[in-house]
Amino acid sequence: MNAFESAKTVEQRSLEILRPFIQQRAYNGRFVITSKGPLAREIQCAAGDVFFNSDCETVYSIEIKAEESNRYGNFFFETWSNRSRFKLGWIYTLSADLLLYHFIDDDMLFKIPFQKLKRWAFHSGRIYDFEERRQSKYEQMNDTWGRCVPISVIIEELGLNEAFAPSINRIIVLKGAE
């Protein structure tokens, strides 16, 4: 299995775990996964992995990022999808409403308002305080780069007060949010 296939397997495992979470929150339990079809690539690059309605008229987009485990206490925000070919990463190109960052083995899901994250990253310039590093988890042809930002920084500076444990369908109050 190559690096792309390995990453896809992690994403697919995450999506299967997260389906009930998304379905519970979607109007009439309905949502759309954007992974297949003639427009899938363009839709995913612009808006994310999932569309759902919160009511009969309002639609939201979700980007899902999944890692097997939270070994280092960081989020990886991709700045270059392929640096050698000048292809920008999702932190720049995506316009989703919500980022769901899932650590599968740790049973932790963070719901991050994506536009708030982008304002934090670029309007305040905070993302540049964290060193840009080449992705080294998977051996792959693309030379993917990003910034590892401590989860605690995002929790504090974006004012996140909860995470979610998908396997037990339970909200977890984050430290300092009590």
Q: What is the pLDDT of residue 78?
A: 95
Q: Which residues, listed in sequence order, are joined to residue 101 by a DSSP beta bridge?
A: 65, 110
Taking 80 as the threshold, does the pLDDT of residue 35 lie above it? yes
Q: Which two tokens stand for residue 55?
A: 């009511």
Tokens 């899901």 correspond to: 109
pLDDT (tens digit per residue) in 146-156: 999 999 999 99
Could you tell me the pTM of the whole model?
0.90
Taking 50 as the threshold, does the pLDDT of residue 178 lie above it? no
pLDDT (tens digit per residue) in 95-120: 999 999 999 999 999 999 999 999 99
Q: Domain boundaries in the chain? A: 3-173
Taking 80 as the threshold, does the pLDDT of residue 136 lie above it? no
